[in-house]
Amino acid sequence: MTVEAISGNIKEQSSLGANRVLEVKDLRISYETPRGLVRAVSGVSFFLKRGERLGLVGESGSGKSTTALSLMRLLGPPAIIEGGQVLLEGKDLLKLSEEQMRRARFADIALIPQGAMNSLNPVMKVGEQLRDTMRAHAFNEAQSALNARIEDVLDWVDLTSDIMDAYPHELSGGMKQRVCIAMAILLRPKVIIADEPTSALDVVVQRQVMETLRRVQNDIDASVILVGHDMGLMAQCVDRIGVMYGGKLVEVSPVRDIFKNPQHPYTQMLIASLPNLESKEVFQGIPGLTPSLLNPPSGCMFHPRCPQIMAHCEVDVPTLNEIKPDRWVACHLYDDKVA
């Protein structure tokens, strides 16, 4: 290889790395139980590009919410982060002190929690909760200046300034979720994690909330990780999808490609189970049960349910490999196609 080719390759890799605002490497999380360790997240690795919306999907118990909360260091006992890295612009969040991480929350990485009704303080007015967020990050301006900034942010999420004097119980579900979005973007973070932000809302309000999130994300030039199980919502709202199963990522792909041509057998069956106009009266599920994370199966986690099982699937754990540009799959079917 010529010097020019090597130099060009280094510049290309450097450019790819510079475009990644967040990199998660070999993240491992367990829960201590009386029966032993439950390995909720086992070696998850992915990256998030600047300005990108990445969806994390999977069945209940697949580890997607545990992964999201661990990025914010919001998991308490009995959860244990056993290893890995969470690099936000090169800074490992898992190595920060508690005080450093407290300052990073909302300022660098923010969370829109699942269920706004339970995340807002019921005995504090909305304005005071937003002011508290700013004061916790050393915003010591006069209250009038704080209020002016909060009014601007509320306007971004289609709420009027009189919301500041309301208690959470006086707001509708959609309004409370917009307050949570306002709180998340108040300090213009680089990354926003939305953990099933529309799970308790009707479909009309869901769309309104997601349109609000998309617009404010563009306004502050942030990247978003959207966690959920609604594949239809993901199809409309994200650029790439990461499919989780049994605490592992089994496929990561651009959203159009994954719906048009899913690669992993689990992804194929997951998409085949979605209702459509052609088979609107026939519902097709995935046979079998999700694996026990206390006593997981050997080899590939999906092999007890997989229709394309091979002998070594029961023994060898597949790794997540790039089988074609920007398409990552953890499946022995593609062992000979690793790029």
CATH (domain of 290)? 3.40.50.300
Question: Does a structural domain hold residue 10?
Answer: no
Q: What is the pLDDT of residues 209-246, one digit of tens each?
A: 899 999 999 999 999 999 998 888 899 999 999 999 99
Predicted local confidence at residue 102, as pLDDT: 93
Question: What's the pLDDT score for residue 144?
Answer: 84
The whole-number average pLDDT for the span 14-33 is: 85
- pLDDT-derived band of residue 17, with 50, 70 and 90 as boundaries? low
Amino acid (1-letter code) at residue 314: E
241-293 tens-digit pLDDT: 999 999 999 999 999 999 999 999 999 999 988 877 666 666 677 888 889 99
| Sheet architecture: strand order including 321-324 | 109-112, 191-195, 223-227, 53-57, 240-245, 248-254, 327-329, 321-324
What pLDDT score was predicted for residue 232?
85
What is the DSSP secondary structure assignment for residue 310, as one 8-state letter?
Answer: -
The predicted model scores a pTM of 0.90
What's the number of domains the chain is made of?
A: 1
Structure tokens that stand for 213 in this block? 């999130």
2 within some domain: no
Report the distance separating Cα 205 and Cα 59, nearest Å. Answer: 23
Give the pLDDT confidence of 76-115 residue by residue, as tens digits: 999 999 999 999 999 999 999 999 999 999 999 999 988 7
Residue 13 in any domain: the answer is: no
Measuring CA to CA, how many Å separate 302 from each of 61, 113, 299, 310?
14, 29, 9, 12
Residue 162 lies in a domain: yes
Instruction: Answer whether residue 42 is part of any domain.
Output: yes
331 burial type by CB count under 10 A (0-12 exposed, 13-18 middle, 19+ buried): buried
Instruction: For residue 3, tell me if it sits in a domain.
Output: no
- From residue 198, alpha-carbon distances to 137, 195, 207, 249 in Å are 28, 9, 9, 23
Q: Are 286 and 270 in contact (CB under 8 A)?
A: yes
**Domain range for 113:** 22-337
Tell me, yes or no, whether 35 lies in a domain. yes
User: Any idea which of 141-145, 263-267, 268-272, 300-304 has the lowest mean pLDDT?
Assistant: 141-145
Tokens of 116: 């706004």
Residue 6 lies in a domain: no
Comparing 283 with 298, the larger pLDDT belongs to 298
